[in-house]
C-alpha cells in the first residue's frame, strides 16, 4: 500500500491549505474534520501506511485522546501533533504518548514538509523491519524440534562433540542437523546465524 498522509483538523481552511501544500510534494493526502469521521472511514488502523497530522483540540473526541489510544488501536504510523494553543504540559503529554513531533500553528511550510518527510521515512523503515522479522520467524518455524535444539546449543557456543553428548547423538548426526538448519534458514556460516537470528531468538 502506498504511503498516505491522514490529516485531521476541524478547521476547513487549515485542511485545505495543508492539503494543497503537501500535494505539491506529490504526497497523497486524505483530510477529515473530526476524529470520529476518521475512525468511521478507517476501521482497521493497522493496515494504514504513512503518517497522521492531528490537531490536538477539536470538538467531540480530541486529538490527544486519539493519540493516547493510538498503539492500543493497532497503528504504528507516526503521529504529528498540531495546535494553535501549545503549552509545555500539553507538549510533554503528547511526547509521553508517542507523538513523532509537536508543531505550533501557524505551521512553517518548510518545517512541515521536513517533519512529514522524516515521519514517512521512519514509517517505511519500521515496516521493513517488521517484514524482515516476520520472514525470519517464518523460516524458524520450518525447523524440526531437533533442529531447534541444535540451534539453541549452537547459540550457547557448544561444539559438535558437546552437542552430540548432550543430545545423545553421534557427531555425524549433529552435523547433519546443523547443515539442515543452515539450509532452511538460508545462511552459510555460524557468524550469520548469530548475527541474524541471535537477537531474534532472545526477543521471542
* CATH code where residue 171 lies: 1.10.10.10
| Residues 74 and 28 placed together within one structural domain of the fold | yes
Number of domains in the chain: 2
User: For residue 72, what is the domain's CATH number?
Assistant: 3.40.50.2300
Host domain of residue 91: 4-133
Q: Packing angle between helix 171-185 and helix 109-140, nearest 10 degrees?
A: 150
Domain boundary among 109, 133, 157: 133
Taking the C-alpha atoms of residue 125 and residue 140, their distance in angstroms, rounded to an integer, is 23
| Residues 30 and 72 placed together within one structural domain of the fold | yes
Per-residue model confidence as pLDDT tens for the chain (204 residues): 689 999 999 999 999 999 999 999 999 999 999 999 999 998 888 888 999 999 998 888 889 999 988 888 878 899 999 998 777 888 888 999 999 999 999 999 999 999 999 999 999 998 888 888 888 889 989 999 999 999 999 989 899 999 999 999 999 999 999 999 999 998 888 888 888 888 664 443
pLDDT at 75: 84
Domain boundary among 84, 106, 133: 133
Domain boundary among 105, 133, 161: 133
| Residues 93 and 186 placed together within one structural domain of the fold | no
* H or E stretch covering 29: strand 29-32
| Residues 65 and 123 placed together within one structural domain of the fold | yes
| Residues 27 and 99 placed together within one structural domain of the fold | yes
What is the rounded radius of gyration, in angstroms, for the C-alpha atoms of the chain?
A: 24
| Residues 55 and 29 placed together within one structural domain of the fold | yes
pLDDT at 137: 87
Cell of 142: 520450518
Amino acid at each position: 500500500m502506498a504511503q498516505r498522509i491522514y490529516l485531521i483538523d476541524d478547521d476547513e481552511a487549515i485542511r485545505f491549505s495543508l492539503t494543497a501544500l503537501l500535494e505539491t510534494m506529490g504526497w497523497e493526502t486524505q483530510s477529515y474534520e473530526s476524529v470520529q469521521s476518521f475512525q468511521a472511514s478507517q476501521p482497521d488502523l493497522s493496515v494504514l501506511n504513512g503518517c497522521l497530522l492531528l490537531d490536538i483540540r477539536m470538538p467531540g473526541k480530541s486529538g490527544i485522546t486519539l493519540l493516547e489510544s493510538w498503539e492500543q488501536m493497532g497503528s504504528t504510523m507516526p503521529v504529528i501533533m498540531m495546535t494553535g494553543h501549545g503549552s509545555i504540559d500539553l507538549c510533554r503529554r503528547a511526547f509521553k504518548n508517542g507523538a513523532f513531533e509537536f508543531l505550533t500553528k501557524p505551521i512553517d511550510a518548510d518545517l512541515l514538509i521536513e517533519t512529514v518527510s522524516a515521519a514517512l521515512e521512519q514509517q517505511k523503515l519500521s515496516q521493513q523491519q517488521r517484514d524482515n522479522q516476520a520472514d525470519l520467524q517464518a523460516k524458524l518455524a520450518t525447523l524440526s524440534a531437533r533442529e531447534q535444539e541444535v540451534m539453541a546449543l549452537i547459540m550457547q557456543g557448544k561444539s559438535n562433540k558437546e552437542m552430540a553428548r548432550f543430545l545423545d547423538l553421534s557427531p555425524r548426526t549433529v552435523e547433519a542437523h546443523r547443515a539442515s538448519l543452515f539450509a532452511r534458514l538460508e545462511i552459510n556460516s555460524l557468524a550469520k546465524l548469530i548475527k541474524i537470528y541471535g537477537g531474534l531468538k532472545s526477543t521471542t
